[in-house]
Amino acid sequence: MMRTLPDYVGSAAFGLKMGVFLPGSDLIGEVASRAEDLARDGLLDDGDVICITESVVARVQENFVTTDEVAKEVATKLDLKPTSTLGVVFPIASRNRFSVALEGLSQAVPQGRVIVQLSYPYDEVGNQVIDPAYVEAQGKSEGVLYHADLPKDMLLHPVTKIDYGGYYADVIREAGAQPVIMYGNDPMAILSEEPDGVIAADIRTREQTKAKIKGTFANCITLQDLCSNGPVASQWGLLGSNMSSKGKLKLAPRDGNQIAQDVQDEILRRTRRKVQVLIYGDGAYKDPGTGIYELADPVTSFGATPGLDNCVRGGVKYKMLADRLYAEGKPVQEIEAAIKEAKNRDLDAGSMETEGTTPRRMTDILASLADLVSGSSDAGTPVILIKSIFRSKD
């Protein structure tokens, strides 16, 4: 059995099998216990990174809200009556991410209307909501389209085969409200339906969307403004929430930096290894086959230890240096020595040695790698060990 990684292995990531985390589980103790296993087997070193998926952190914290609670808060913050009209602008097309949230929003106006405006032909994270070829052929790349006027087969997602506009209409009807599903890329289009209140439901562009609407219509909030205060809350509000069970949403975790620090301290106490700790959400990458971004969370990292603050990963353009030095007739020993020397210098981002290597935030890289390794299905590895990638000049 391998007890340590050989010297010729560089950066590596391992999914760590854990038991089921439930509300009230000892997350810190269980992660630290697994770190003891890693240390015993020669697989844990100073500078390694322990990554914990945000999902188990929020579950342990019992960070759940019901659709009834969401409805009550929406009605209060937007001063809605049961017969009011609620506008929802730019939600993503996702059963897991938005359908239960929409259920709560719709329950705020059970005898009124809910207007959902989707961007098209894709939502914010790259989900197709209208066939782009149809949009182009019909010359409808601008303006407002209504779900009822579009051919059913043009509305099917190419992967899930779901008509998300129709699906959201059903969610609204089940809450008792009347749905109107429209498509438009200008958030101001929602105002033509004369809403009493509007929610900017996009993720990373929410503040721009809200500001544009509020220039004309004051009664507008974002998803982050809902469920962001109180005994059960997240600083991100409904952003980053997931379907939990019927009528219930799991919010993003709270106090992420403190949780990460507590995990680091306990691992150090038990193993004498100082690791960095990251609580990760969706990775920052795009699937080349479907065009879908894995960025349904407002951030890639919901918490981290201070050692990861303001840390970027740049580096030497290894292959370019090797090619240039080889072309100059340098032998392999000199090429390797030159690359090692360059790696150990503080190089300016615009230097020739780093040309083409864009510095990226280390938390984004670590979260993306952890998300790819853990996946979102049944891998059973909500904790990831990442080795060597964080060491800047080894």
- Domain coverage including residue 262: 12-62+253-309+362-387
Model confidence over 279-318: pLDDT tens digits? 999 988 888 888 888 788 999 999 999 999 888 765 555 5
DSSP 363: H
Check whether the bond before 382 is cis (ω within 30° of 0): no
Please indicate, yes or no, whether residues 82 and 58 belong to a single structural domain of this protein: no
d(CA 181, CA 147): 5
- Which stretches of the chain score pLDDT less than 70? 1-4, 313-322, 326, 335-336, 338-340, 342-358, 376-379, 390-394
Q: Which residue, of 250, 267, 295, is where some domain finishes? A: 250
Model confidence over 370-388: pLDDT tens digits? 999 987 655 689 999 999 8
d(CA 388, CA 337): 20
Burial of 330: CB neighbours in 10 Å, binned 0-12, 13-18, 19+: middle
At which residue do the structure tokens 């390794």 appear? 373
Question: What Cα–Cα distance (Å) separates residue 121 from each residue in 69, 145, 146, 184, 185?
Answer: 33, 11, 13, 9, 9
Residue 49 included in any domain: yes
Please indicate, yes or no, whether residues 45 and 179 belong to a single structural domain of this protein: no
Q: What is the predicted pLDDT for the residue at 75?
A: 98
At which residue do the structure tokens 């043009």 appear? 154
Domain count, the chain: 3
Residue 224: CB atoms within 10 Å:
20
Residue 191: CB atoms within 10 Å:
18
CATH of the domain at 178: 3.40.50
Please indicate, yes or no, whether residues 215 and 72 belong to a single structural domain of this protein: yes
Q: What is the predicted pLDDT for the residue at 389?
A: 81
Q: What is the predicted pLDDT for the residue at 349?
A: 44
